[in-house]
């Protein structure tokens, strides 16, 4: 309805709505716009409730180009009237589209990839942090005095790690500290398979260390006992720093020299640590678990029968149906069990109706079945 109405039509409408003569309605509307115009000409803005706001805006002079001739010319500064509809009026006019909202579009996939990488990095850091925290905390908490002792040891550690023999007494303590932390790190990321033996150490060593340290260090405690609490907290910070450094150093050394050097020490400590070693075997069973998963993983690519006895892991054969062929016969032929017909039906995606009405010449895939473990 792109019709056009005038002031008189408006007056008609108004006269119908309100108890007013049409003539009066006309004069009312005319007066209204007269006032608006007068005020605008006076440079004022006029706000009318239910309609909107009229304003006069001055436009700066600007240079433009005559499209036909290409000549430049100046548009003088001038005033112009702007109108901004009232909220109520705007909403009412826009009612057909009121349900739409501005939507934020997804960015290109690039940024999503970047975010994903960031999050994974963050995750690994988060994962590492607790490992380090767990490893270091037990050392600090149980006996603060014993904690203080490792420091001198810590400084000398980088070398003892390289050369396990020089100081038999001192080494057992520093090395275990170095080992427990670097190993979990190493295990989690680079080569889990590489060091099955060192793994057991982290926990047992940490627990026993304080005890050993306490025994060995009792003489030192007397000296240390004089230290203030502040010093201890400082010590803790230093210890933590040293441990972090050790971690890095140990990691590097470990990567360079490989598990060999540790194996000897590890064996010695295993004797002392005893119990936990059995637990350490755990990583080994994880590996055999992989092949069993593979059947399931392979099965993931194919349709499966829920709670079935077998996994469908591939295509064993394809058969073009001949006269007299029957899916249950095929099941009997390939599996020795006609009840496995369901797997053939599922694998080919036949509906129950279609399965009972197959035509000669239909190609039927026979699935490769692997017995499920549970």
Partner 1 sequence: MNNKEFVAEMAERLNLTAKEVSSLLVGLTTEMAERFEEETQVSIMGFGNFEVKKKLERVIINPSTKQRMLVPPKMVLSFKPSNTFKDKL
What are the residues binding partner 1 (CB under 8 A)? Answer: 1-7, 10, 13-14, 17-18, 20, 24-25, 27-29, 31-33, 35-37, 39-41, 44-52, 54, 56, 78-83, 85, 89-90, 92-97, 100-105, 107
Question: In the complex, what is the shortest distance from the CB of residue 136 to partner 1, in angstroms, rounded to a whole number?
Answer: 41
Question: In the complex, what is the shortest distance from the CB of residue 8 to partner 1, in angstroms, rounded to a whole number?
Answer: 10
Question: In the complex, what is the shortest distance from the CB of residue 112 to partner 1, in angstroms, rounded to a whole number?
Answer: 14
User: Which CB, 81 or 286, lies closer to partner 1?
Assistant: 81
Question: In the complex, what is the shortest distance from the CB of residue 103 to partner 1, in angstroms, rounded to a whole number?
Answer: 5
Question: In the complex, what is the shortest distance from the CB of residue 6 to partner 1, in angstroms, rounded to a whole number?
Answer: 6
Which of 245, 128, 249, 266 shows the shortest CA–CA distance to 185?
128
User: Which CB, 56 or 298, lies closer to partner 1?
Assistant: 56
Structure tokens at 332: 């009997």
Question: In the complex, what is the shortest distance from the CB of residue 62 to partner 1, in angstroms, rounded to a whole number?
Answer: 18
User: Which CB, 32 or 170, lies closer to partner 1?
Assistant: 32
**Continuous H helices in 141-282:** 144-148, 150-156, 158-162, 174-178, 182-188, 202-224, 229-257, 260-273, 275-280
Give the relative orientation of helices 327-335 and 341-348 as an angle to the nearest 10 degrees. 110
User: Which CB, 58 or 120, lies closer to partner 1?
Assistant: 58
Q: Are 310 and 369 in contact (CB under 8 A)?
A: yes
DSSP calls for 149-188: THHHHHHHTHHHHH-SSS-TTTTTTHHHHHTTTHHHHHHH
Ramachandran sector of residue 317 (left: φ over 0; alpha: ψ -120 to 50; beta: rest) = beta
Q: In what order do the strands lie in the sheet with 46-48?
A: 46-48, 52-59, 78-85
How many Cα neighbours within 13 Å face the side chain of 130?
6
Q: Dmax over Cα atoms in the chain, in whole Å?
A: 116
Question: In the complex, what is the shortest distance from the CB of residue 10 to partner 1, in angstroms, rounded to a whole number?
Answer: 6
User: Which CB, 54 or 334, lies closer to partner 1?
Assistant: 54
Ramachandran sector of residue 151 (left: φ over 0; alpha: ψ -120 to 50; beta: rest) = alpha
Q: Are 196 and 282 in contact (CB under 8 A)?
A: no
Structure tokens at 360: 């000669």
User: Which CB, 26 or 171, lies closer to partner 1?
Assistant: 26
User: Which CB, 37 or 272, lies closer to partner 1?
Assistant: 37
User: Which CB, 51 or 238, lies closer to partner 1?
Assistant: 51
Question: In the complex, what is the shortest distance from the CB of residue 63 to partner 1, in angstroms, rounded to a whole number?
Answer: 22
């Amino acid at each position: 309805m792109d019709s056009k109405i005038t002031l008189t039509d408006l007056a008609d409408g108004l006269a119908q709505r309100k108890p007013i003569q049409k003539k009066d309605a006309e004069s009312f509307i005319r007066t209204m716009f007269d006032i608006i115009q007068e005020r605008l000409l006076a440079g004022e803005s006029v706000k009318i409730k239910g309609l909107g706001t009229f304003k006069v805006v001055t436009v700066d002079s600007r240079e433009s180009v005559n499209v036909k001739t290409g000549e430049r010319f100046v548009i003088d500064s001038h005033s112009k009237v702007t109108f901004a509809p009232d909220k109520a009026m705007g909403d009412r006019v826009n009612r057909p589209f009121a349900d739409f909202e501005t939507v934020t579009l997804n960015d290109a996939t690039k940024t999503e990839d970047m975010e994903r990488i960031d999050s994974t990095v963050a995750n690994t850091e988060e994962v590492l942090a607790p490992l380090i925290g767990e490893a270091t905390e037990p050392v600090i908490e149980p006996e603060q005095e014993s904690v203080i002792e490792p420091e001198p040891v810590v400084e000398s550690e980088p070398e003892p790690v390289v050369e396990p023999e020089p100081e038999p007494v001192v080494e057992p303590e520093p090395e275990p500290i170095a080992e427990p932390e670097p190993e979990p790190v190493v295990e989690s990321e680079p080569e889990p398979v590489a060091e099955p033996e060192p793994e057991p150490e982290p926990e047992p060593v940490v627990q026993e260390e304080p005890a050993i340290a306490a025994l060995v260090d009792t003489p030192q405690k007397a000296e240390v006992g004089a230290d203030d609490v502040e010093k201890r907290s400082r010590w803790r910070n230093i210890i933590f720093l040293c441990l972090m450094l050790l971690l890095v150093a140990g990691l590097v050394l470990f990567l360079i020299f490989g598990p060999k050097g540790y194996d000897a020490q590890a064996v010695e400590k295993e004797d002392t640590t005893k119990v936990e070693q059995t637990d350490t075997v755990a990583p080994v069973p994880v590996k055999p678990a992989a092949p069993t998963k593979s059947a399931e993983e392979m099965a993931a690519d194919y349709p499966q029968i829920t709670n079935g006895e077998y996994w469908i892991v591939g295509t064993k054969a394809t058969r073009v149906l001949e006269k007299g062929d029957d899916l249950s016969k095929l099941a009997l032929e390939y599996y020795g069990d006609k009840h496995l017909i369901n797997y053939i039906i599922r694998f080919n995606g036949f509906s129950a109706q279609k399965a009972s009405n197959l035509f000669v010449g239909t190609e039927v895939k026979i699935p490769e079945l692997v017995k499920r473990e549970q």
